[in-house]
Amino acid sequence: MREGADILIGIDAGTSVIKAVAFDLAGRQLGAAAVVNTYREEPDGAAVQSMERTWADCARALRELGQMIDGLARRTAAVAVTGQGDGTWLVGAGNRPVGDAWLWLDARSAPTVRRLWEGALERTRFERTGTGLNTCQQGAQLAHMAAACPELVGQAEVALHCKDWLHLCLTGVRASDPSEASFTFGNFRDRAYDDTVIEALGLAAHRHLLPPILDGTTATHPLTREAAEATGLLQGTPVSLGYVDMVMTALGAGVHDSSPGVACSTVGSTGVHMRAVRSEDVVLNAQGTGYVIALPIPGVVTQVQTNMAATLNIDWVLGLASDLLSEFGDRPSKSDLVGRIEGWLARSEPGAILYHPYISAGERGPFIDPDARAGFVGLSSGHRYPDLVRAVVEGIAMAARDCYAAMGDMPRELRLTGGAARSRALRSVLAATTGASVRASAREEAGAAGAAMMAAVALKVFPSMEACIETWVTPLLGDAEAPDAPLAARYAAAFEGYRTARQGLAPVWKHMATLRSRDARLDAGAEPAELAIAAGSGNKELMR
């Protein structure tokens, strides 16, 4: 490590924002720069992002960070990069992009996923990757491109993910990391590509597009002269390729601990629920849903289930109040309404109403159903708005429990990150619903921190990731908040109703989807015969 170098930079390239965050070697955040990272959605289900623009925005974030911190270039010991998962970033001759990147939001591969679901090797593919196949993933997108857009695949020399592309721009090295490589094309047990998985995806002829697998805790590559000029950093600065952003965030927030039974939930617009286990202790569900994603710790992986919507449900229920009150005067601010949540919860009865939080129109964890919709069960004339707010908050927590139940035993301790982790009321409901003590992380930029931790291990600042966690993560965890025993008992009983109702509503959701499809066809001028076919088939549109 260069003399006087006392800063690690973590880059976290999200779907809409790229952040460059500086940390000292003990994990204290020194500064952060953020640049909006735009993407484009199209009527055919496409969601694409300019690869050149993404690199330019990343370089800009690093330059802006340099303006905040004196001597950043000479003080930087290493740079580490993580980013949005899944998606397909094709690179051709001269390391130039082959068109725009297909993001994880892109739904064009839905017909291909339906076909692959019926394949003879699909269950084997799931058991090796630990990951349910969906339109988000590069495997599905590449298979669809090969059939529908062969000219794209024909021009490509390598298929990367977002962080891999930025790593290439920084170092000139084509590589992917063990996490995305194994949950998409490989086996989580040995973190290598798996020929049977690649065959199951129909990609044996395109195996040459898969890059070498590089672990950023054991190897770094130097920043190129061109990247140094673009970013303001010094040529030769070591660059570490991080794992995918979900596990980097969880690592920075405390998903891995020496004590058993620890899990981590990111409760933001969506809900991401993870438990770190030894590879041999993974529990694969019969439904074939979720992810198994490697951690940068030998033999340890995360089991993951994700909800389409978490706090988006709170935004919706608060929006009802805002819209109504605006009819009588000034519209209240969101912060004013958020400040009333705890009071509303105090004036309502726990577990009296069930709410299924599928407000984003569909669900992906722990079950996949694009027809799923949010709804209340158990309303009576005595219920008022505070009761609805409580039901929505409880529904988010019930969905988290539903996810953890699909991964094995319930956690003993739940580490929380995301905006909702700051709410004492929501932490209390999550604790009681899962039966776990909760601890909120004070880490502001957990994803960038997780990546920077990999660089710290690669540079031997710490002898192991466990030692790095003891310094970077554990001191930022809040005090454990134990679940309220009577409330936990109430929610345990209510959860059975929640899950039974969720399972029973599936045919209702399908019927309503058929009606929506029929109405849409009618509005478009479809003939009666076409409507009859649509009514018979139902809505089979695949979850993104």
Q: Give yes or no on whether 86-160+178-213 and 255-440+484-544 have one common fold.
A: yes
Average confidence score pLDDT of the chain:
90
Reported as half-sphere exposure (CB side, CA atoms, 13 A), residue 147 has a value of 16
**How much is the pLDDT for 525?**
64
Rg (CA), the chain: 24
Q: How far apart are the first and last CA of the chain?
A: 43
CB 354: neighbour CB atoms within 10 A?
22
pLDDT, position 526? 55
| Helix, coil or strand: residue 496 | helix
Tell me 460's DSSP state. T
pLDDT one-digit tens code per residue, 273-298: 999 989 998 988 888 888 999 999 99
- Extended strands (E) in 388-429: 413-417
Alpha-helical segments (H) within 284-384: 311-326, 334-338, 341-346
Contacts of 324 (CB under 8 A, 6+ apart): none
Secondary structure E strands in 60-168: 76-83, 89-91, 101-102, 158-160
The position carrying tokens 């339109």 is 135
How much of the chain exceeds pLDDT 90, in percent?
67
The 10s digit of each residue's pLDDT in 315-366 is 999 999 999 988 898 888 888 898 899 899 999 999 999 999 998 777 878 9
Taking alpha carbons only, the member of 406, 390, 435 closest to residue 502 is 406
pLDDT of residue 528: 52
| 171 or 108: which leads in pLDDT | 171
The pLDDT of residue 120 is 95
Per-residue confidence (pLDDT) for residue 537, from 0 to 100 = 41
pLDDT in tens, 46-95: 889 999 999 999 999 999 999 999 999 999 999 999 999 899 999 999 99
Strand locations in 297-410 (E): 300-307, 354-356, 375-377
Domain ranges of the chain: 86-160+178-213, 255-440+484-544
**Which of 302-316, 409-423, 504-518, 530-544 is the least confident region?**
530-544
Q: Which range among 15-24, 174-183, 363-372, 528-537 shows the weakest confidence by mean pLDDT?
A: 528-537
> Cβ(480)–Cβ(427) under 8 Å?
no
> CA–CA separation, 92 vs 74, rounded Å?
33
Distances (CA, A) of 15 to 198, 382, 455: 27, 43, 23
Cα separation, 351 vs 330, in Å, equals 33
| Rounded Cα–Cα distance for residues 19 and 428 (Å) | 31
* Per-residue pLDDT at 219: 95
Q: Quote the pLDDT of residue 523.
A: 67
List all residues 6 or more positions away from 170 whose beta carbon is below 8 Å from its beta carbon. 79, 81, 223, 224, 227, 231, 239
- Phi, psi values for residue 138, rounded to 5°: -65, -35
Q: Which of 226-240, 261-275, 281-295 has the highest mean pLDDT?
A: 226-240
The span from the CA of 11 to the CA of 377, in Å, is 44
Q: What share of the chain is helix, strand, coil (3-state, %, to 5)?
A: 45, 20, 35
Q: What is the pLDDT of residue 538?
A: 40
- Encoded amino acid at 151, one letter: E
- Of the candidates 402, 460, 472, 465, the one whose C-alpha atom is nearest the C-alpha of residue 430 is 402
pLDDT at 533: 44
Q: Which CATH superfamily is domain 255-440+484-544 in?
A: ATPase, nucleotide binding domain (3.30.420.40)
Neighbours of 229 (CB within 10 A): 11
* DSSP strands (E only) in 52-135: 76-83, 89-91, 101-102
Question: Comparing C-alpha atoms, which of 65, 77, 73, 67 is closest to residue 11?
Answer: 65
What is the C-alpha to C-alpha distance for residues 300 and 48, in angstroms, rounded to an integer? 33
Please state the rounded mean pLDDT for residues 212-228. Answer: 97
Percent of the chain with pLDDT over 70: 95
Crossing angle between the packed helical segments 528-537 and 485-523, to the nearest 10 degrees: 160
Closest CA to 240 of 157, 189, 166: 166
Residue in 366, 258, 259, 242 with CA at minimum distance from that of residue 295: 242
Global confidence as pTM: 0.85
**Residue 36's beta-bridge partner residues?**
17
Measuring CA to CA, how many Å separate 286 from each of 228, 267, 279, 407?
49, 26, 18, 11
Check if CATH label 3.30.420.40 holds for domain 86-160+178-213: yes
The pLDDT of residue 527 = 56
Using one digit for the tens of pLDDT, what is the confidence trace for 152-192? Answer: 999 999 999 999 999 999 999 999 999 999 999 999 999 99
Residue 357 neighbours by CB under 8 Å, 6+ apart: 307, 309, 310, 313, 374, 392, 395, 396, 398, 399
Is the pLDDT at 419 greater than 80? The verdict is no
Place of tokens 């909800």: 307
pLDDT at 205: 95
The residues, ordered by sequence, that sit 6+ positions from 286 with a Cβ below 8 Å of its Cβ are none
Please, which residues bridge with residue 80 across strands?
10, 240
**What is the spatial distance between Cα 202 and Cα 121, in angstroms, rounded to a whole number?**
10
- What is the per-residue pLDDT for 542? 43
For residue range 44-55, what is the model confidence (pLDDT) as tens digits? 888 899 999 999
